């Protein structure tokens, strides 16, 4: 292959690379705002489902469980606080479990939603089952504890998936509730970024 042919191939490849890069950049510039808006709408709907009677969900701040970005909110109706919604993460057996939970003004759990998990199919992924999630309703911080035997007072672990059960219950929701309590008292919990600050 002559030097001339080599230069020609190099120039052609460079043109393809530049054109391809510009094309990808323009596609990203076009789709990025659409994806962002869809994601924001999805988040808004997920928050509303946690406390449906609220007509305003107000962000209170950010925090970083397991160094992951999470947020917490006040749910209001006509400027009266009905409760709070906290996003948190629990370290499971094979994934970080992304959790959203709602509490009333007394910090008693009202609802739990698992936003994302990648736990073992047929075992740890049972943390999303209604029978497991349903156990949290009516429990305060002191009762967010995993036990292996059947219990109405505490949270019964999923058979063969104690790590995943603890990740949601103690590492996720319990720690999230402790964080929320400190934040509401005006104490600055570790990892908190109040809304509006940088």
**pLDDT value of residue 58:** 95
Closest C-alpha among 171, 173, 189, 184 to residue 66: 171
Q: Residue 187 above 90 pLDDT? A: no
Same domain, 190 and 166: yes
| pLDDT tier for residue 173 given thresholds of 50, 70 and 90 | very high
Rounded mean pLDDT of 3-28? 76
Distances 174 to 9, 29, 155 between C-alpha atoms, Å:
61, 40, 11
**pLDDT value of residue 174:** 97
**pLDDT value of residue 198:** 37
Rounded mean pLDDT of 57-72? 95
Same domain, 64 and 35: no
Q: Residue 78 above 70 pLDDT? A: yes
Alpha carbon distance 112, 101 (integer Å) = 4
Rounded mean pLDDT of 58-78? 95
Same domain, 10 and 101: no
Same domain, 38 and 69: no
Same domain, 11 and 85: no
**Bridge partners of 72?**
61, 86
Please give the share of the chain, as a percent, with pLDDT higher than 90: 70
Same domain, 20 and 57: no
Rounded mean pLDDT of 86-91? 96
How many Cα atoms occupy the beta-carbon half-sphere of 183 within 13 Å?
A: 25
How many domains are contained in the chain? Answer: 2
Same domain, 64 and 30: no
More confident of the two residues 150 and 196 = 150
CB 189 within 8 Å of CB 93 = no
Same domain, 81 and 166: yes
Rounded mean pLDDT of 80-98? 96
Per the structure, the complete domain to which residue 120 belongs is given by 52-194
CB 128 within 8 Å of CB 114 = yes
Closest C-alpha among 84, 55, 83 to residue 72: 84
CB 37 within 8 Å of CB 13 = no
**pLDDT value of residue 18:** 77
Sign of CA dihedral 14, 20, 21, 22: positive
- Residues constituting the chain: 198
Same domain, 32 and 110: no
Same domain, 111 and 172: yes
Would you state the structure tokens that stand for residue 6, as one six-digit string?
């080599």
More confident of the two residues 84 and 193 = 84
Same domain, 171 and 113: yes
Distances 160 to 20, 110, 123, 137, 167 between C-alpha atoms, Å:
49, 26, 6, 23, 14
Using one digit for the tens of pLDDT, what is the confidence trace for 23-56?
776 666 566 666 556 667 778 888 999 999 999 9
Same domain, 156 and 68: yes
Closest C-alpha among 68, 134, 62, 64 to residue 95: 68
| DSSP secondary structure letter of residue 33 | H
CB 13 within 8 Å of CB 20 = no
């Amino acid at each position: 292959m002559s030097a001339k042919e080599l230069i020609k191939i190099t120039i052609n490849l460079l043109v393809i690379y530049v054109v391809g890069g510009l094309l990808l950049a323009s596609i990203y510039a076009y789709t990025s705002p659409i994806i962002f808006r869809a994601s924001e709408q999805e988040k808004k709907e997920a928050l509303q489902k946690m406390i449906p009677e609220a007509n305003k969900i107000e962000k209170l701040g950010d925090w970083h469980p397991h160094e992951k970005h999470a947020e917490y909110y006040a749910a209001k109706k006509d400027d009266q606080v009905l409760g709070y919604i906290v996003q948190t993460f629990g370290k499971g057996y094979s994934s970080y479990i992304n959790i959203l939970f709602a509490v009333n003004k007394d910090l008693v759990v009202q609802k739990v939603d698992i936003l994302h998990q990648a736990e073992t199919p047929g075992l740890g992924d049972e943390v999303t089952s209604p029978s497991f999630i349903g156990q949290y309703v009516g429990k305060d911080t002191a009762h967010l504890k995993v036990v292996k035997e059947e219990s109405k007072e505490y949270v019964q672990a999923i058979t063969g998936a104690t790590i995943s059960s603890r990740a949601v219950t103690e590492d996720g929701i319990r720690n999230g509730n402790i964080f929320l309590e400190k934040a509401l008292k005006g104490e600055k919990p570790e990892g908190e970024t109040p809304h509006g600050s940088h």
